Chains A and B, each alone.
Chain A
Amino acid sequence: GQQVMQIPQYQHVQEGEDFTTYCNSSTTLSNIQWYKQRPGGHPVFLIQLVKSGEVKKQKRLTFQFGEAKKNSSLHITATQTTDVGTYFCAGTPNAGNMLTFGGGTRLMVKP
């Protein structure tokens, strides 16, 4: 079945440093979504990408969808303590309709 892998599993950064998490699918995706879960909270939708090579920005966050629509990345510029949490990607395969989540990347920011 479809697998969605995310790396790294954990990342410690100093406040002000940049951070990137990568998402890779074993199959081509029709779309990819990103969610953020604060410690003790629930996942909250951030963004959806649908086009090959698409890039979207939300303030300090930059989201990319690969040309082959099998990978994606989330880059945070100049991290802040408010960025702490676990970031999940979730993809829908072209051949199916079930959203599959990656394992998540837990970001910790040292002030």
Chain B
Amino acid sequence: IAGITQAPTSQILAAGRRMTLRCTQDMRHNAMYWYRQDLGLGLRLIHYSNTAGTTGKGEVPDGYSVSRANTDDFPLTLASAVPSQTSVYFCASSPARVPGANVLTFGAGSRLTVL
């Protein structure tokens, strides 16, 4: 079934550790995104990529980095995790190169707890 695969599904992490959340899509979508979801705050954009080889900062990029080496993969890295990064992380993709110009397909999410 075509879609987005995220890994891990959940993770408990000690503060200060490095963590990479993986995201792979098989729909050949141009644009990919990382959101974090916190209660009462909805979905906030961390980083995005309009097309392979390019990335951009979203609303809450501090403490996170991304790369887009190819069309399918868009990993999110926390260089040194802090408790405020405890959240549910969703990867999403859309066909369009221009964010907002098309519909988002979301992955199942990765629940991260930083202690």
Q: Which residues of A are in contact with B by a Cβ distance under 8 Å?
A: 1, 6, 9, 30-31, 33, 35, 41-45, 48, 88, 90, 92, 96-104
**Contact present for B100 and A88 (CB under 8 Å):** no
User: In the complex, A92→B109 CA distance in Å?
Assistant: 23
- CB contacts under 8 Å to A, within B70-115, are 90, 98-101, 103-109
Do most interface residues of chain B lie in helix, strand or loop, or is the interface mixed? loop
Look across to chain B and name the residue whose beta carbon is closest to the beta carbon of A93.
B100
Known pairs A101-B42, A101-B44. 11 more at Cβ < 8 A?
A1-B59, A33-B103, A92-B101, A99-B45, A99-B100, A99-B104, A100-B45, A100-B59, A101-B35, A103-B40, A103-B41
For A86, give the chain B residue with the smallest CB separation.
Answer: B42
CA distance A45 to B94 in the complex (A): 11
State whether A101 touches B43 (Cβ < 8 A). Answer: yes
12 sample A-B contacts, Cβ–Cβ < 8 Å, listed by A number: A31-B100, A33-B104, A42-B108, A43-B90, A43-B106, A45-B103, A96-B100, A98-B100, A99-B100, A100-B59, A101-B43, A101-B44
Interface check B61, CB cutoff 8 A: no
Closest to A47 in B: B103
* Chain A proximity of B29: nearest CB distance (Å): 13
Which of A30, A43, A44: most chain B Cβ within 10 A?
A43
Whether the Cβ atoms of A43 and B104 lie closer than 8 Å is: yes
Q: Chain B: residues with CB nearer than 8 A to chain A?
A: 35, 40-45, 48, 58-59, 90, 98-101, 103-109
Please measure, in the bound complex, the distance between the C-alpha atom of A101 and the C-alpha atom of B48, giving whole angstroms.
15
A88 touches B42 (CB 8 A): yes
**B100: min CB distance to chain A, Å:** 3
**In the complex, chain B residues whose CB is within 8 Å of the CB of A88:** 42-43
- Which residues from chain A contact B105 at a C-beta distance below 8 Å? 45
Other-chain residue from B40, B41, B42, B100 in contact with A97 (beta carbon distance below 8 A)? B100
